[in-house]
Structure 1
């Protein structure tokens, strides 16, 4: 009978267990090296373990919408806020409704609280409004002083000045104001995709000076050709955009106006103010937005917007009408929450369903704006009612208690393995150590990679995984011991017991992973951390058993201590009640025939 070839793979076993062990050791070294190379050696902690910031937002009633604060809108707002915050790369953020008109947002430590506050508190009501007229941002002084009996020559001079101003206004609309600001050319500019493809256009809101404030005697025509109402003129004259508080009040008033109303609005930096017509294209017509760095044209960071089919058609129709109007009525203001962030001029109709906001953006501000526009506007407006710093004291105490419980459980598992399996306990402990190293390094690397944060439920999932991993070892060890009880030696017992143990381990881990997957899909909040950790450790259990425990047992079966069944090996045939060695029985014919 021919001897088996050297290195031939035995049925159900591994021909080169040493190579498999080397591969998993190399993988462990690579993961540990990557962990230190990333600059972090500890997993990212959730808000319950590391602390953070908590915002309480209160919904506000909106004009014309008395029943807007309802359960549906509150849940929609909470979902949008959660997507916005997670769009910043923040994981384990908690966003949940509280009562009938409050939303609580908890953000882990390490997140820019100011940036997160802006993301969750900004309504992101976007609208494209035609510009009726524009002027400098400061409050306009009264151009029609009351006449007095003693006006004299001084009054005549004022009258002459007024006439001169009127003549200048009749000669050319859009005459530069007396104090043009250089900063107007770098902040809040916007160009459209059509402007980018064609010759460079100069946005009226930045490159072209705005029209000088006109007197009541020479009203500016509106976009539709009608005169601007006197009430709107007065609002524009009284509007002061020079201070942040005044801009905030003006933005709030404009944001609460109806889409069909004419409003006044400040530019983002306060250098200009506008009288705007009704909303021509709503923010709901924006399908997607993204921050892009435009290097060729020198515009820097821009925000590209893609409109829906209906939105693109409306945008093309409106820009075609505006292109035929004089300055500044050919400007199109992009208004976000009542504040004009850009007012580009239009020279021709812009088809294609795309527009670009550019000028004055940093990478962060462009990404923040794109993030808010991508996830849509909130159905309600909110104000931050409370902001507190959350400490990790309570979570730290719970974590300490959980770790103590986990250590006690692990100690009991070790005692049981040593008492019952003796030498095989070394294999189990080595496998648990490998599983712990892989779990720790992967959790640490997932922090900066996908924003994974370790919270209390996730720690609980890792502790539960100890039992799942130990159960896989016990299944395999018992299969080996069953083969020895049948009278086989250790080496064939290791190989013959593996296929049956492998099926049992895979079925058990599949059930655990399926439960974790379903739990992750249907739950929200912290429970997702438990489900994610449970699923991750279940997958690692399969890796460890296949690529570490099985090859290690194959190598140890060749050692005399285990192969000869030493009493402390855990594989002593006498202790296991093994049967005599299996032998073939020979049948021989009787030599004599006996008669009945």
Structure 2
């Protein structure tokens, strides 16, 4: 006999549920991120309020005045930092302002990596005008000899199928792409480079007869209370007029190996702090050998943020670049994504420019490709004799590739990126640069003083709630109560496995708010039981046998159950989208538990009821819990014909 309409084969549905459990717990115990003992692999990721975490304070600083930043700028910075933290996963981090200068970041887990969260992420594209060795005066810089590592990131065109090939026609060829050079220092020079003029050709300053000053013991730059001109004047007084004049007179990096007297004059610059070096004119930063890449990399954040000024920055801590004004900015980037380049199997950051930004980028690459006006000197040219364009993020050159053609489409920043670093950089560029410069304070590990008690209380509340539902179910529905108990148990196991897997994959953390969401979901699950079982009683009261009433009750109750759960899911989605922090955790947990309850309803509750309907116990009012809804053959209901099972 064929099963009644609406009834599925219970064995198949239970098999699908078993497959889901098998896959889920294989991921729990043997997934890519499953580590440690069996007990460790069963540990979900707990939130800040349960297990403590890491807290870091970012202090807003300014380069020219001691005034506190505006409340609007501080709030905008907080929103960007919150977006950066959230992009790393559903970690329920807390990002709040503290006073009129500080932003406090708290994330779950001790020793959490918060590096890069407070970086300005100011992107600049600058043409490389000069390049030299940045290792210090003890090295012997030879232009065109020190190779830039071939793994240097590079912008690349994605608008042409032949991207990556050198241009084979006019400079306007769209098939060209920017790629890292493998030539000499600063990007490579032709076979017979023109040497950089020696420092010995520098005219002797008029103050050469004055004695060299003794550098002061403490820094003289006070960014909080001095303008840039005042800071620069203070540094000039510290190094002395003779050293300052000699440094200003340099037309190229000084060669101390051939001019010992010049080395003595410039000696005071070796005692400058990174803060003092940051206020020096770019020509002094570039031409004085004692101002090394090590010191330049230690300059305060925002030291070269002015896009209208030339700047000096280092690539890979080895090559010192003299950079032109920035002609393409981070604000010209419409979108950024970390993607895996299929042709090279390397992680890259794909950039999509705005309309005006694309025009600026095309103009810059044309200018660099043609070396217009001979602006780039011989040492700064690449293997093909073209200028380079440096991708400058804050104070660092993350890439300085030779431009091999005019780029008219989207581009890439490529290099030694991992998936995490590529996505982090893309996130920083996507959400924009911070409107303020921050000085990070030392990160601190914080403990959840009440975390253990909170967790115990939350689990106890969840257990009591489930126990009350089960007791009521057995009291009112008897045998059917076992269906409720098993359904809740399976739903709980699904939720727990999902918590573990999601914690590893997207960083979801369980907090007290999340536990509250799971407890509320118990009520949603109980409602679906009541709808189904009461519909079943109605079908039996209408004269149908229990076996035929089960599929008909399911067909009618199914729509109501789906509608009720869909409303809960939509409410959770809306709440998640419009809220932040722990409220998002509550919404996420409620939505997750409701979806998994639907899985249990369809793959367990209905098929198990179909199996129960075939047992003798199901026909007993005392055992089944259907009570007087079941009409025995020897107890016909007055005024209503008795319906026998076909």
TM band (smaller chain): 0.7 to 0.9
Which residue among 323, 334, 345 is the counterpart of 1:276?
323
Secondary structure of the residue aligned to 1:535 is helix
Alpha-carbon separation, structure 1, partners of 2:615 and 2:585:
43
Asked if residue 20 in structure 1 is aligned to residue 13 in structure 2, the reply is: yes
Say which is worse superposed, 365-374 or 195-204, in terms of deviation: 195-204
Secondary structure of the residue aligned to 2:433 is coil
CA contact under 8 A between 1:138 and 1:271: conserved in structure 2? yes
In structure 2, the partner of 1:338 is 395
The CA deviation at 1:65 is: 12
Which residue among 491, 505, 508 is the counterpart of 1:435?
491
Structure with the greater alpha carbon radius of gyration: 1
Which residue among 445, 451, 459 is the counterpart of 2:515?
459
The CA deviation at 1:198 is: 0.3
Q: 1:317 to 1:515 in 2, by over 3 A?
A: closer
Mapping 1:20-59, distance limit 5 Å: 20-38=13-31, 39=34, 40-59=41-60
Say which is worse superposed, 275-284 or 461-470, in terms of deviation: 275-284
In structure 1, the partner of 2:121 is 124
Stretches of structure 2 that go unaligned for 5 or more consecutive residues are 35-40, 168-178, 204-248, 253-279, 381-386
Which residue among 133, 139, 142 is the counterpart of 1:136?
133
Alpha-carbon separation, structure 2, partners of 1:558 and 1:532:
39
CA contact under 8 A between 1:84 and 1:372: conserved in structure 2? yes
The CA deviation at 1:519 is: 1.2
Alpha-carbon separation, structure 2, partners of 1:289 and 1:212:
41
CA contact under 8 A between 2:4 and 2:548: conserved in structure 1? no
Alpha-carbon separation, structure 1, partners of 2:624 and 2:533:
12
The CA deviation at 1:331 is: 4.0
Mapping 1:370-389, distance limit 5 Å: 370-389=426-445
Alpha-carbon separation, structure 2, partners of 1:583 and 1:110:
73
Which residue among 324, 327, 332 is the counterpart of 2:378?
327
In structure 2, the partner of 1:267 is 314
Stretches of structure 1 that go unaligned for 5 or more consecutive residues are 1-5, 142-175, 222-229, 587-596
CA contact under 8 A between 1:49 and 1:392: conserved in structure 2? yes
In structure 1, the partner of 2:202 is 216
Q: 1:539 to 1:569 in 2, by over 3 A?
A: same
Mapping 1:23-422, distance limit 5 Å: 23-38=16-31, 39=34, 40-63=41-64, 69-89=69-89, 91-109=91-109, 113=113, 116-118=114-116, 120-138=117-135, 177-178=141-142, 182=146, 184-186=148-150, 188=152, 190=154, 192-193=156-157, 196-198=164-166, 205-208=186-189, 211=196, 214=199, 215-217=201-203, 232-238=282-288, 240-242=290-292, 244-249=294-299, 252-255=302-305, 258-263=306-311, 265-291=312-338, 302-322=348-368, 323-324=371-372, 325=374, 326-328=377-379, 330-346=387-403, 350-358=406-414, 365-422=421-478
Secondary structure of the residue aligned to 1:253 is coil
CA contact under 8 A between 2:147 and 2:186: conserved in structure 1? no
Q: 1:121 to 1:211 in 2, by over 3 A?
A: farther
The CA deviation at 1:377 is: 1.6
Alpha-carbon separation, structure 2, partners of 1:279 and 1:51:
43
The CA deviation at 1:182 is: 4.5
Secondary structure of the residue aligned to 1:117 is coil
CA contact under 8 A between 1:91 and 1:453: conserved in structure 2? yes
Q: What's the CA shift string for 1:50-92, capped at 9, x where partnerless?
A: 432111112223549978x334333332333233334444633
Secondary structure of the residue aligned to 2:533 is helix
Alpha-carbon separation, structure 2, partners of 1:101 and 1:63:
15
Q: 1:454 to 1:191 in 2, by over 3 A?
A: closer
Equivalent pairs counted in the alignment come to 527
CA contact under 8 A between 1:205 and 1:342: conserved in structure 2? no
The CA deviation at 1:251 is: 6.1
Secondary structure of the residue aligned to 1:42 is coil
Q: 1:351 to 1:428 in 2, by over 3 A?
A: closer
The CA deviation at 1:558 is: 2.4
Q: 1:232 to 1:441 in 2, by over 3 A?
A: closer
CA contact under 8 A between 2:151 and 2:415: conserved in structure 1? yes
Q: 1:238 to 1:576 in 2, by over 3 A?
A: farther
| TM-score, normalised via structure 1 length | 0.76
Secondary structure of the residue aligned to 1:121 is coil
| TM-score, normalised via structure 2 length | 0.71
In structure 2, the partner of 1:149 is none
Alpha-carbon separation, structure 1, partners of 2:617 and 2:399:
80
